[in-house]
Amino acid sequence: MDAEAFAAVHSDEWDELEALLRRKHLTGDQADRLVLLYQRAATHLSQVRSATGDPVVVAHLSRLVARARTRLAGAKEPAWRDLVRFVVVSFPAALWRIRWWTAGAAAFTLVLGAATALWIVRDPAVLASLGTPEDLRQYVESDFEGYYSADPAAAFSARVWTNNAWIAAQCVAFGVSGVWVPFVLFQNAVGIGQAAGLMISYGEGPLFFGLILPHGLLELTSVFVAAGAGQKLFWAWVAPGPRPRSRALAEEGRALVTVALGLVVVLALSGVVEGFVTPSGLSTWLRITIGALALGAFLAYGGVLGRRAVRAGETGDVREEQREDVQPVAG
């Protein structure tokens, strides 16, 4: 095959295809013509490659076919735009939609934890049932505080992050059961209340709050968010509203995954605070202030961006074009 002769025969079609590609808007007939010319150009490219391999013609046709394919199939957005959308839209929207479920999980934990601590402080028999006086005193005077500095800060942060991520993962994975989330919250609340009761009973309440609050504000809030998301998924199964139950579970399940992915970063941040700030030599008020600022930033992030995203119709689900086709429902 003579590459120059081949190009001369088909150059009009290639020029026409290039002219159509330069147009921003196409009529129906022009779009059909674009598809036809694209198919022909792709065939011509294959023929030139197999017959002559002329680099000039191959390069020209390759660029032309690639541009036509992009025009017809649509250009894929770069990955960084998906990441930006997740951070600015999807995750905040999911947080805003579960805010009352999160508040419910927080109230349940705090009330039960406070009741447990008060029971231990007011009833010496309950305090005595937790261990011998020697064991309890060792826990209060050395073990509790030593827990935060026994390992290097980086290793401790990683261990804390893994543990908290595991707790959050349980709430996410088994939230649809409706039972597991309350069970996890109950365990957490009783454990925190027991530690608080022991420390307060031995006059070390300020030490307890000075070590718990710097990281615990953000850490516990993350657990509450995971618990709220899990319970919302359960409620979508119990009361799907006008949506079919399968569709409600699918939509809330995808939003739940959004929450889970976002919490990976939030829990990592709380682990850094627990590993590097909590056991540091900073004054108690400064450590608590750092923890409060971290929590405030997270709440502002979810509140401001989340409210805006939900008002714009976002739910934390994937883009509409990425969802399955559904039948219209009433309501």
Mean pLDDT confidence for 59-64: 88
Q: What is the pLDDT of residue 204?
A: 93
Q: What is the pLDDT of residues 206-253, one digit of tens each?
A: 999 999 999 999 999 999 999 999 999 999 888 888 888 888 888 888
CA 299 to chain centroid, in Å, comes to: 15
Residue 322 pLDDT level (bands cut at 50, 70, 90): low
CA 327 to chain centroid, in Å, comes to: 28
Mean pLDDT confidence for 130-142: 90
Residue for token pair 């559904």: 326
Q: What is the pLDDT of residue 103?
A: 97
- As to burial, measured by CB atoms within 10 angstroms (0-12 exposed, 13-18 middle, 19+ buried), residue 89 is buried
Indicate the pTM of the whole model: 0.73
Please say whether the beta carbons of 171 and 164 come within 8 A: no
Q: What is the pLDDT of residues 244-277, one digit of tens each?
A: 888 888 888 888 889 988 998 998 899 889 889 9
Most confident of 152-161, 231-240, 313-322: 231-240
- As to burial, measured by CB atoms within 10 angstroms (0-12 exposed, 13-18 middle, 19+ buried), residue 196 is buried
Q: What is the DSSP string of 34-58?
A: HHHHHHHHHHHHHHHHHHT--HHHH
Please say whether the beta carbons of 277 and 291 come within 8 A: yes
Reply yes or no on whether the pLDDT at 330 is more than 60.
no
- Which among 144, 160, 162 has a CA at the least distance from the CA of 152? 160
Q: What is the pLDDT of residues 199-217, one digit of tens each?
A: 999 999 999 999 999 999 9
Reply yes or no on whether the pLDDT at 323 is more than 60.
no
Reply yes or no on whether the pLDDT at 9 is more than 90.
no
Q: What is the pLDDT of residue 75?
A: 53
Reply yes or no on whether the pLDDT at 141 is more than 60.
yes
- As to burial, measured by CB atoms within 10 angstroms (0-12 exposed, 13-18 middle, 19+ buried), residue 25 is exposed
Dist. CA 47–CA 95, nearest whole Å: 55
Residues 6+ apart with CB under 8 A from 136: 127, 130, 198, 202
Residue for token pair 């779009």: 31
- Which among 190, 197, 187, 265 has a CA at the least distance from the CA of 227? 187
Query: Could you give the residue ranges of the DSSP H alpha helices within the chain?
Result: 3-22, 28-51, 55-73, 79-85, 91-97, 99-122, 124-129, 133-138, 144-146, 153-174, 180-201, 205-238, 245-272, 284-300, 306-311
- Which among 68, 72, 73, 71 has a CA at the least distance from the CA of 14? 68
Q: What is the mean pLDDT of the chain?
A: 86
Reply yes or no on whether the pLDDT at 329 is more than 70.
no
3-state secondary structure of 291: helix
Reply yes or no on whether the pLDDT at 77 is more than 60.
no
Q: What is the pLDDT of residue 320?
A: 54
Residue 294 pLDDT level (bands cut at 50, 70, 90): very high
Q: What is the pLDDT of residues 102-127, one digit of tens each?
A: 999 999 999 999 999 999 999 999 99
